[in-house]
């Protein structure tokens, strides 16, 4: 779906989320702890949300389709993939270009 591709390519870190998803919240908080401010798009509040969810599944997200994390325009995956990257130390490297400088 064009909207997903556009959002992923125009923003460094994007989380497609649902407002009631606790795992989406956890991934967002992890990124904030790593000094990254992701764009969080809650598909349950988007009129095209159902189509977006189907498109995320077609892109390779496992059901449920959220959280779907894109870093640098590329689909990283969901909570399991993000946490695996974090535990291996690879997530920080991926996020480095998108970290904010804190004073």
pTM value is: 0.93
Q: Per the domain annotation, does 52 fall within a domain?
A: yes
State which H helix or E strand residue 39 sits in: strand 39-42
The count of residues in the chain is 103
Q: How many domains does the chain have?
A: 1
Domain housing 55: 2-98
Name the more confident of 67 and 103: 67
Phi and psi at 53, nearest 5°, equal: -60, -45
Q: Per the domain annotation, does 33 fall within a domain?
A: yes
Q: Per the domain annotation, does 83 fall within a domain?
A: yes
Q: Per the domain annotation, does 103 fall within a domain?
A: no
pLDDT digits (tens, 9 = 90+) for 35-76: 999 999 999 999 999 999 999 999 988 888 899 999 999 999
Query: Considering only CA atoms, which of 11, 46, 48, 4 is closest in space to residue 31?
Result: 11
Task: Please name the residue that has the structure tokens 């956890």.
Answer: 26
Angle between helices 2-10 and 49-59 (to 10 degrees): 70
Q: Per the domain annotation, does 69 fall within a domain?
A: yes
**CATH code, domain with 7:** 3.40.30.10
């Amino acid at each position: 779906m064009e909207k997903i591709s556009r959002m992923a390519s125009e923003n460094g870190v994007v989380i497609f989320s649902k407002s009631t998803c606790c795992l989406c919240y956890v991934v967002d908080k992890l990124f904030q702890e790593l000094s990254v401010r992701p764009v969080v798009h809650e598909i349950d509040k988007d009129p095209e949300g159902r189509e977006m969810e189907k498109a995320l599944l077609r892109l390779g997200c496992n059901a449920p389709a959220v959280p779907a994390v894109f870093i640098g325009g590329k689909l990283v995956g969901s909570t399991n993939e993000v946490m695996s990257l974090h535990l291996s130390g690879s997530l920080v490297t991926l996020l480095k270009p998108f970290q904010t400088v804190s004073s």
